[in-house]
Amino acid sequence: MELYIDTANIDEIRNAADLGVLDGVTTNPSLIAREGVDFHSRMAEICDIVSGPVSAEVVSVEHDGMISEADELLKIASNIVIKLPCTVDGLKACKTLSDRGVKVNMTLCFQPLQAMMVAKAGAFLVSPFLGRIDDIGGDGMELIQQIRTIYDNYGYTTKILSASIRHPLHLVQCALVGSDVATVPYKVISQMMKHPLTDSGLAAFLADWNK
């Protein structure tokens, strides 16, 4: 399973990249706003650090505006992926861009038919938000499983990017059901190599060595 970081914080991206296992980055306008920086400049900084896919989201809600924004974002770097919402206009823009060979990440996916439609439109990634479904009493992992089954049934090549990851257990579950990618906050990445038995075992080894 590929691992992306979901942030616009440069220090977090550098720290994650230093681990040697970071495959890409996802951002959104809210994450950029928290940093208090120019959107295009920050995207360029991120692309200088990470060579894998970097998702940059449009804010237009209609097709022509999405395409116009996408054209500007694509000038930033060759690894920019255009992030569009799972709406009717987003679907149309996905088709327009994918027909041009542009990689598209279809975000805010909350049901399997959205995922099927964007795959048919040529999306590179689809981003089901499993944590937000869990937040309202649903089962976000069931959505990932449904999309996996549909894509496998028909040979769709769109990658499932599990988003809105809340904790390490979400990552374990995503890996078990076959999510292609997971995008996570830095806090979760920092938890992935931690286990109390690892810490206590290492402490015991060092104590014995010092004797």
- Look up the CATH number of the domain holding residue 95: 3.20.20.70
- Give me the pLDDT at residue 92, please: 98
User: Which residue do the tokens 């990249």 mark?
Assistant: 17
The torsion defined by the Cα of 182, 4, 80 and 8, in degrees rounded to 10, comes to 120
Rounded mean pLDDT, 38-46: 95
Domain span at 140: 2-210
Question: Considering the chain, what percentage of its residues have pLDDT values greater than 90?
Answer: 98
Catalytic residue numbers read 83
Backbone angles phi, psi at 167, to 5 degrees: -160, 170
Q: How far is CA 63 from CA 58, 70, 89, 103, 187, in A?
A: 11, 10, 5, 16, 35
Reported as a single tens digit per residue, the pLDDT across 78-127 is 999 999 999 999 999 999 999 999 999 999 999 999 999 999 999 999 99
- Give me the pLDDT at residue 29, please: 86
Please report, in angstroms and rounded to a whole number, the separation of the first and last CA atoms in the chain: 42
**Is the pLDDT at 55 greater than 90, yes or no?**
yes
SS3 category, 126: strand
**Is the pLDDT at 73 greater than 90, yes or no?**
yes
Reported as a single tens digit per residue, the pLDDT across 147-157 is 999 999 999 99
- Give me the pLDDT at residue 138, please: 96
